[in-house]
Amino acid sequence: MGQLKFERKFSEKLKERVIAPKPGSWEELSARLDSEEKRKNPIFWWIGIAATIIGGILIFGSFFNEPVPNNPEVVNVPVEIPEQKENRIQKNASEKAKPHEIAFEENKEIIETPASKKTLKASEEQKASQRENKSAVVSVNKNIRVQDPILEPEIIVAGVPEILQTNQDAIEEVLLREHSGNVKDAEVDALLAEAGSQLNKNREQKAFSVKITANDLLWDLEMEMEASFREKVFEVVKDGYLKARTAVVNRNNSF
């Protein structure tokens, strides 16, 4: 069923027809297009604003999340068993005391070196090293006293300065002689032997001297207290016994 003749005529005439739109129709359309563009633009603006805000938040977040060096860090400390703690305390105590022990051992070496010198051949190099040791010991001891005043003076005093004091003259003499080059091995050995014997004497004296400690005193006091309490009990019992005896005697007499 194709187009009829009148339909063709209709089509031709209607396709040729032009109806002028009302004046101002373009302005209306233009305004609609403008408003559409404006509506589009805010979307881009909002996207931009949102992106800026998110970026800002991220930057600030990273800035505030940075660790502050002044604030102490919170660290999970593992719970220590009391035994471990005690061991650690003991260790620390031993570490504290170490420098003195080292110094003391070094002194020992200095003092005991003459005894072992028989086995070791004395040479000029060894002497030089010994001299270095001696001076090192002196300086170490001095440093310890200056640097660590918290330590108990009893520990520091333990033997070392005493030896130094006693042998100071001899050491100075040896040093002077060494400088002048007049020192003999035999003299050095004799001096060191003398210092060693003095040290032994001191040790023996200390060993014989009675030590009174706080624990001993406490123990004695406890013993005394215990004894007095026992005596008191005995006295009370004794009094009671006597009273009872006199009472019985009095009763018998009254009968």
Partner 1 sequence: MKVIQLFKNETKLITRAANNNRAAQEELYRKYSGKMLSVCRMYIKDLHHAEEVMLKGFFKVFKHISSFKNEGSFEGWVRKIMIREAISFLRSKKDIEFAEEVFEDSNQSFNNINSGIEVEHIQKLIDSLPEGYKVVFVMYAIEGYKHQEISKMLNITEGTSKSQLFKARKMLQEKLNTQSISDYGTVKI
By CB under 8 A, name the binding residues for partner 1: 1, 3-7, 9-11, 13-22, 25-26, 28-30, 32-33, 36-37
> Tokens at residue 241, please?
């016994």
Q: How far is the CB of 43 from partner 1 (least distance, A)?
A: 15
Q: How far is the CB of 31 from partner 1 (least distance, A)?
A: 11
Q: How far is the CB of 45 from partner 1 (least distance, A)?
A: 18
> Tokens at residue 113, please?
């070196």
Tracing tokens 């007049």 back to the chain, one arrives at 182
Contact 107, 160 (CB under 8 A): yes
Alpha-carbon separation of residue 88 from 85, 95, 99 (angstroms): 5, 10, 18
Q: How far is the CB of 28 from partner 1 (least distance, A)?
A: 6
Residue whose CB is less far from partner 1, 20 or 210: 20
Q: How far is the CB of 35 from partner 1 (least distance, A)?
A: 10
Residue whose CB is less far from partner 1, 39 or 121: 39
* Class of residue 47 by CB neighbours under 10 A (exposed 0-12, middle 13-18, buried 19+): exposed
Residue whose CB is less far from partner 1, 10 or 241: 10
Q: How far is the CB of 42 from partner 1 (least distance, A)?
A: 17
Contact 195, 170 (CB under 8 A): yes
- 3-class SS letters over 142-195: HHHHHHCCCCCHHHHHCCHHHHHHHHHHHHHHHHHHHHHCCCCHHHHHHHHHHH
17 phi/psi in degrees, rounded to 5: -65, 140
Distance, CA of 218 to CA of 223 (rounded, Å): 9
Residue whose CB is less far from partner 1, 13 or 251: 13
Residue whose CB is less far from partner 1, 9 or 238: 9
Contact 100, 156 (CB under 8 A): yes
Residue whose CB is less far from partner 1, 31 or 128: 31
